[in-house]
Structure 1
């Protein structure tokens, strides 16, 4: 009896010690900023619609409002859990590095000293992907853009020229721990999902080439894939080409877990089309982030950031994201046509 009592006391002591363990938490997000253009004409870009005399009547005042709105939303990402917000945020639909620099000068962003990364690619719309990072948390060491090429050029399976965004790889140290972040904005569903599918399959195939290279150098590479895939978690590109799993327990070595798939299964999305939800804005992580020791960064949880201020309250699109412009180019002074997504990583404090 005394032996049993002693064992119980030991177990209680172990449990109490475990309860006292303190963890650091970081948030990592993604946000499609929906056409963050400046007002300056760039002859090398298709930016005519976003000029003062363009279809959207884009003015310095509207641009300033856009910057303010986006910085406000970005600054709140992750603050429910970690007061200083996201350590890293991938972004899409940005015209140039100057737009990100302007964004980082907004008070909410400047307060946290966010820094921008963007490589300009060949996208026909003139928009690119980028990365915002807080240098208190993340130190980049490598930046590389990968162009989507098919067969003998930049063509898709239907023979159409595809000018699309780079897949942006940023490697660095997340508070001393090596991580690789790949920001994506895959080809749209223009022409229909089935017609355009080969383009996104090609984008996913390119992504796997990047991750294979990372895994070749480090079988335990911690990889975070994020972006507007223009596909849902259960589409071919994500579920088969990447083979990103619905259940974390089914992810094998060098495999991937789609943190957004369980959320999508609940009927939650990031954008609304004709009254139906899609979850295109995905964050996919490599197996080492699922099974890391407690002393290393490991996956905790994910969410769609669909706070009330980001939601359209009336009219066409009610219940979906509150956009910058509505039907017919009417200025709504909103945010974007997508909700942001984010994940949280944690590790035991030393």
Structure 2
């Protein structure tokens, strides 16, 4: 009996010593390797509009790609500005020497007199709510707000400027990259970045030219490319908001496949400049990780261990396999908001920035607690019903990058 007790005690003591040794070893490794962290996020902020009715102005006397912008104008005043009834395709050649004002689908929707009674109080509440979300993405690990955030469904550069001026974001000294697109709803993509850590070296928008089954052009969002130095390290960011599933998933699939082809061409363009370039593509793809656009056109890989040189890694792919999503529709979840990277960001050598972890940001305050949307993302408007404590119909996503601090 005593021998058995002694044997048990010896094994217990040995197990304890092993645990102590492992703890000390891990502590020593952690002390030897200090890391620098950076969060890169994406957020579809759902209809971030100011309170003024606006239309899209294209001045054909200039380069329309750069000079297309929104102007505050009422629907009935459009003829005063429009110099030509242009039913032509909006191309530089057709617009040369002309000035065209396009009526946007949501021209009256987000105004004080519109169906949502969208006023300054509600607009500022939306900005405060969104700023809280952005300030907290990845902060539990990094201790700070994201260094880069891609945004979708913003009306203009001005609304992004208003967003980063909010008290919760102002300390991070964010800069803005934004181009107006030809999107018929008047929404664009954009990017904010901490100017103290990110130096933008190049920006470019890539226009997506797609058509409906009737042969008419479907004006949609561009893909935004931003080349930068993140803490001195070259990095390339692509911001996407691909065509919606309006008309049905299958019927509209070709539009998102065209967007995927455009994004792939940008990947290849960057890799021709630098085969080891680090590329992070974020966005609302309006498709899931297993959709043809993502899986077949991009040929994306969901598992880190299967990534080979030249692959595109879907950092959010494995989440979808586990049933997670970023938006819900008719009691079903989709993971439209995704982060895809070049293979050069996937590895265990943290001498330079590498992917550490990727998350869907869904704290309790971002989840509806009651009503028909209970359990869904907590949005500010369900139809025309206002919810002051709402945010967006999408959860944001983010990745944390790590690299060893050089001594």
TM-score calculated relative to the size of structure 1: 0.92
Instruction: Please tell me whether the aligned partners of residues 22 and 349 of structure 1 are also in contact (alpha carbons under 8 angstroms).
Output: yes
Q: Which of 19, 24, 35 is the matching residue for 1:23? A: 35
Report which stretch shifted further, 329-338 or 134-143: 134-143
Mapping for residues 27-106 of structure 1, pairs under 5 Å = 27-44=39-56, 45-46=104-105, 47-106=107-166
1:149 aligns with 2:187: no
Quote how far apart the aligned CAs of 1:271 are.
0.2
Mapping for residues 217-228 of structure 1, pairs under 5 Å = 217-228=273-284
Instruction: Tell me, in whole angstroms, the C-alpha distance in 2 between the residues paired with 1:116 and 1:226.
Output: 16
Report which stretch shifted further, 331-340 or 111-120: 111-120
Look up the match of 1:332: 387
Q: 3-state SS of the aligned residue for 1:225?
A: strand
Q: 3-state SS of the aligned residue for 1:244?
A: coil
1:198 aligns with 2:258: no
Greater Rg over alpha carbons, structure: 2
Q: Deviations over 1:141-170 (max 9, x none)?
A: 1110000124xxxx2455242110110000
Structure 2 vs 1, CA of residues 14 and 270 (structure 1 numbering), >3 Å: closer, same or farther?
closer
Q: Deviations over 1:224-258 (max 9, x none)?
A: 00000000000011111111111112222211110
Structure 2 vs 1, CA of residues 192 and 136 (structure 1 numbering), >3 Å: closer, same or farther?
same
Structure 2 vs 1, CA of residues 156 and 223 (structure 1 numbering), >3 Å: closer, same or farther?
farther
Q: Deviations over 1:63-107 (max 9, x none)?
A: 011111111111111111111121100000000000000011100
Q: Deviations over 1:15-60 (max 9, x none)?
A: 8764421111111100000000001121224431111111211111
Instruction: Please tell me whether the aligned partners of residues 126 and 391 of structure 2 are also in contact (alpha carbons under 8 angstroms).
Output: yes
Instruction: Tell me, in whole angstroms, the C-alpha distance in 1 between the residues paired with 2:234 and 2:342.
Output: 13
1:318 aligns with 2:374: yes
Instruction: Please tell me whether the aligned partners of residues 157 and 198 of structure 1 are also in contact (alpha carbons under 8 angstroms).
Output: no
Instruction: Tell me, in whole angstroms, the C-alpha distance in 1 between the residues paired with 2:235 and 2:320.
Output: 26
Q: Extract unaligned runs of 5+ from structure 1.
A: 1-11
Quote how far apart the aligned CAs of 1:342 are.
0.3
Q: CA RMSD in A?
A: 1.7
Instruction: Please tell me whether the aligned partners of residues 119 and 130 of structure 1 are also in contact (alpha carbons under 8 angstroms).
Output: yes
Q: Extract unaligned runs of 5+ from structure 2.
A: 1-21, 57-103
Quote how far apart the aligned CAs of 1:290 are.
0.7
Mapping for residues 4-23 of structure 1, pairs under 5 Å = 18-19=29-30, 20-23=32-35
Instruction: Please tell me whether the aligned partners of residues 209 and 217 of structure 2 are also in contact (alpha carbons under 8 angstroms).
Output: no
Q: Tell me the number of residue pairs that the alignment of Structure 1 and Structure 2 aligns.
A: 335
Look up the match of 1:6: none
